[in-house]
Amino acid sequence: MGNITKGANTPKTDSNPFIYTLSSLGQKAFNPLQAKLYEAIMKDDSTNVKALLAYHPVNEPITVWDNLMRSRPLSAQDQPILPIHLAAKYRKKKSLQCLLEAGADPKIRDNRGYTALHLLLLHWPNIYSAGTAILDRLQRNLATTQSNAEKCLRILCEKGAEINHEMGSYYKHSPLHLALYSGASQAISILTENGANINETDESGKTALHTAAELLNKEVTETLINCGANINCTVPTYGKTALQLAVCTASSKAGTVLAVDIDCIRLLLIKGAKVNTQDCEGRTVIHDACSGGRKEIVDLLLDYKADVNCLTSHGQSPLFLFLQHKSNMKRVPLLNKLLNLSYPLKLTNNHGDLPTGLLFPEYQQEKEFLVRLSKTMLSLQDICKITVRRIYGEKNKHYLKNQLPVSMWNSLYTYQDFTQR
């Protein structure tokens, strides 16, 4: 890029004596006033900001120059920028307050459709906890930075920022969804206190709670629930709840391989998520959990009375979906548990098809055994056992232990080992 000609011969524009033109390009110009305003905002020097605003319109963009070296402007995406957007983006609370008091418009958008509120949330400080000394120091510094961010957010809310307005970009995220993607649980609380619609949906029909649960973000999920999010609302396009989305993520191949934490699922259940809600295909959380084959998730859902005999619209039982995957054939403890809880034992779907996992040649023996088992009539005693387990669930079996004779309780909760055949 061109160089700035300095000294007595430096050409100035006729319209503004503060602006120096670039000799080689001609299109760009260095403005000392804007440079000083930029520097004052970045230093959070409200006294200087106020003084400079006497000469620079508060809602007029400023060009950001590289290190104030006057040699070249920063990349196009970083300039020009409105003073209020600059203060919000870098969390300069004193400058932000000063600009707003001087008449800066918190609703004005940049060429990407972002307001000061959007930019603040997009650049929200966040770091994951860790035990190293370096990250410990970062955490201490972060506490100060987050405090500044929270103060800036409160200032914008008090000064009339549009709490529920979407970004003007391709992704129509509201401030609440931006806070979620930034992992800013503190921001979510502040936004809801100031009127943010906690159940507002994004372009895919998901609420913030849907997305937080799908990401298994326990902290944000808890914040949203405590702020009044509807825990059992469904995504219109496919009918899944927050609990179903969380179970799908944790039961996915990646979730299984990484053994991701299921605390978010447990939280949703504790807070009242319905365990037997069916999506548009008739699937419940137990279907998705059995398909993934993670026993700890299935056990947790059974504690909350998940119906292991519920059928999808295609006539698939949780056991059917478990047996669909070849990898699940090796998960004998879970298979054994499902066989003990399933009545009637339904191995086929509405078209009479067997699960794919049973069709592999190496599992021919297992297929023959299970088909034979599905045709066996259960005794009345076995039907009663299954019914009692279904009514009381795994979670309440210890309550029954104190109410029933030892021999009866042992008979109820001593599962048959179908692997010994």
Q: Tens digit of pLDDT for each residue in 44-91?
A: 999 999 999 999 999 999 987 655 444 444 544 446 899 999 999 999
CB atoms within 10 A of CB 403: 9
**Residue type for position 86:** L
Question: Is 368 within the bounds of a domain?
Answer: yes
CATH of the domain at 406: 1.25.40.20
| Whole-number Cα distances in Å, 263 to 45, 147, 215, 341, 386 | 44, 27, 12, 25, 28
Q: Is the pLDDT of residue 21 over 60?
A: no
Q: Is the pLDDT of residue 418 over 60?
A: yes
Question: Is 260 within the bounds of a domain?
Answer: no
CB atoms within 10 A of CB 109: 17
- Count of structural domains, the chain: 1
DSSP 348-411: S-TT-PPPGGGGSGGGHHHHHHHHHHHTSPPPHHHHHHHHHHHHHTGGGHHHHHHHS-HHHHHH
Question: Is 220 within the bounds of a domain?
Answer: no
Alpha carbon distance 120, 88 (integer Å) = 5
149-175: per-residue pLDDT in tens?
A: 999 999 999 999 999 988 866 567 889
For helices 263-270 and 295-303, give the axis angle rounded to 10 degrees.
Answer: 10
Query: Would you state the structure tokens that stand for residue 281, as one six-digit string?
Result: 């295909």
CB atoms within 10 A of CB 322: 25
291 vs 6, higher pLDDT:
291
pLDDT of residue 133: 58
- Average of per-residue pLDDT across 309-324: 97
For helices 406-413 and 380-392, give the axis angle rounded to 10 degrees.
Answer: 90
Mean pLDDT over the full length of the chain: 86
Q: Of 102, 66, 71, which is closest to residue 84 (Cα–Cα)? A: 102
CA 149 to chain centre: 20
Dihedrals φ, ψ of 39, to 5°? -65, -40
Question: Is 296 within the bounds of a domain?
Answer: yes
Tell me how long the chain is: 421
State what percent of residues in the chain have pLDDT above 90. Answer: 65
Q: Is the pLDDT of residue 129 over 50?
A: no
pLDDT of residue 171: 65
Query: Would you state the structure tokens that stand for residue 152, as one six-digit string?
Result: 């800036």
pLDDT of residue 236: 96
Least confident of 152-156, 226-230, 273-277, 387-391: 387-391
Domain around 404? 275-421
pLDDT of residue 3: 39
pLDDT of residue 127: 58
Question: Is 374 within the bounds of a domain?
Answer: yes
Query: Would you state the structure tokens that stand for residue 20, as one six-digit string?
Result: 């120096």
Question: Is 36 within the bounds of a domain?
Answer: no
Quickly state the pLDDT bin for 386 (edges 50, 70, 90).
confident
195-250: per-residue pLDDT in tens?
A: 999 999 988 999 999 999 999 999 999 999 999 999 999 999 999 999 999 999 99
Q: Of 293, 199, 303, which is closest to residue 255 (Cα–Cα)? A: 293
State what percent of residues in the chain have pLDDT above 70. Answer: 85
Question: Is 117 within the bounds of a domain?
Answer: no
CB atoms within 10 A of CB 295: 16
183-197: per-residue pLDDT in tens?
A: 888 899 999 999 999
Q: Is the pLDDT of residue 121 over 50?
A: yes
pTM for the whole thing?
Answer: 0.81
Sign (positive or negative) of CA dihedral 295, 301, 305, 306 = negative
Question: Is 93 within the bounds of a domain?
Answer: no
